[in-house]
Amino acid sequence: MPVFTKYAQFYDTYYAQKNYEAEAGFVLDVAGRFGPPPGSVLDMGCGTGRHITEFLKRGLRCEGFDQSSGMLDQACQRLAGQEVRLSQANLTTFHSAKTYDLVVSLFAVIGYLVRNSDLIAGFRTARRHLNPGGVFVFDGWFGPAVLDQRPEYRRHEYRRDGELVVREATPTLDLCRQTVTVQYDLEISNDGRVLQHISEEHCMRLMFVQEIALAAEAAGLEIVHCCPFMEPDGQPNSKTWNVCFVARSITKDDSAATERHLPVDGIEWIQQGDQVLALIIRADYEPVKTQFISPPTYKQQIGFVVHPKGGAIIPHVHHELVRNLIGTSEVLLIRRGSCCIDFYLQDKSFHCTKELNVGDTVALVSGGHGFRMREDTVFLEIKQGPYIGEDEKERFAATR
């Protein structure tokens, strides 16, 4: 069923208070953490062109497309006279001869790809339009939050050119299909006289991290970051209705890697291709059974051992084994305060930043790292011995 037909003419009325400037800033911030500062952007599902307007203000070369002719007509009016290419096309089949540093699909547009085959096709559209090193930023409805909070009926009133626009949204949650179908009913009136009635049905898929990571991998992408929309350093939880993902193309070397770590709620892998820099275990992560997070090959083994009440560990001693280790790894537990940790690759180039709070644990596996304290902070630090002083590390100037 077509969406954003007659409904499109009132779209900007509904979202007049939406802060597109701040959203564009967020997208460029999070994109710059995982790729070069973007100089060009493709907007998949550009709507009425308000995100493109903000990208143009920042000097980016822009292209956009949308399936809805009604939305696209408004975008063309808004961007008339600007150097931007707009076209009517579908997320799953669009093709341009140009490639971009940044591809975006915002305001849950990807959520309209309900079928798995369409989702993968949409991801492939994004991948084939990325420059080397470029990133794909998209958002959607976070499944765990939707299931926890449950969508509700809503009614809003808007004023436009002296007319009263009443919009009713009636959602239906389908647990098996993992979708929410929203029935939108609009009534436009003037002085109590009904002028127009519009109805549209929008079906949205819910997004779960593992599922999205799997579909992305099938399309030649890897998910490198997941956070609440507008909170680049946050961690999605059951209250995060709108979740944001950052993806990059998988190179040939990446696709051949034997070790691939998918995001899991509460556990974050910081990696560049197949090089793992660190893993973060958030304070609210609760294991239900014994599990070791680190692979057996790691110099330090990190995991959870879960025992029932009344259980016991038989007394034992460890054999005096000789292990040959190269390099130094360390584990830090935040006992008090909070900080930002900057991760660097082995060549000292900046990779990304993460925020650590009380109870978070970070295992530093490879590459470089630096810390910036947001408040008085206490770490519990565990590393290999014996300690040999400053000779074990090389300090370098921070670049971000």
Domain 279-392 part of CATH 2.50.20: no
- pLDDT, greater one: 358 or 192: 358
Q: What is the pLDDT of residue 195?
A: 94
Give the residue range(s) of CATH 2.20.130.10 domains in the chain: 152-206
* CB neighbours of residue 62 within 10 Å: 25
State yes or no: pLDDT of 321 exceeds 80.
no
Could you give the C-alpha distances from 4 to 139, 207, 388, in angstroms and in order? 19, 22, 66
On whether the CB atoms of residues 362 and 356 are closer than 8 A, the answer is yes
pLDDT tens, residue by residue, 101-132: 999 999 999 999 999 999 999 999 999 999 98
Q: Which of 191, 250, 200, 195 is nearest to 220 (CA)?
A: 250
- On whether the pTM is more than 0.75, the answer is no
- How confident is the model at residue 319, as a pLDDT? 83
Nearest Cα residue to 68 out of 2, 23, 126: 2
Q: Residue range 34-41: average pLDDT?
A: 92
- Is residue 350 within 8 A of residue 318, CB to CB? The reply is no
C-alpha span between 149 and 357 (Å, rounded): 25
Is the pLDDT at 259 greater than 60? The verdict is: no
The whole-number average pLDDT for the span 31-39 is: 91
| Cβ–Cβ under 8 Å, residues 340 and 300 | no
- Reply yes or no on whether the pLDDT at 323 is more than 90: no
Q: What digits encode the pLDDT tens for the residues 80-98?
A: 999 999 999 999 999 988 9
The predicted pLDDT at position 333 comes to 96
Structural fold of domain 152-206 = S-adenosyl-L-methionine-dependent methyltransferases (2.20.130)
Give start-end residues of each CATH 2.60.120 domain in the chain: 279-392
Determine phi and psi for 277, rounding to 5 degrees: -90, -40
At 252, the pLDDT band (50, 70, 90 cuts) reads low
Q: Which residues contact 217 (CB under 8 A, 6 or more apart)?
A: 250, 260
- Structure confidence at residue 213 (pLDDT): 94
Identify the CATH class of 6-145+207-260.
alpha beta
Task: Give the per-residue pLDDT at 258.
Answer: 36
Residue 66 clears pLDDT 90, i.e. is over it: yes
| pLDDT tens per residue, range 275-295 | 789 999 999 888 877 877 877
In the chain, CATH 3.40.50.150 sits at 6-145+207-260
The residues with which 269 forms a beta bridge, in sequence order, are 279
> DSSP E strands: which ranges in 127-241?
130-142, 154-160, 163-174, 179-190, 193-207, 221-228
1 pLDDT band (50/70/90 cuts)? low
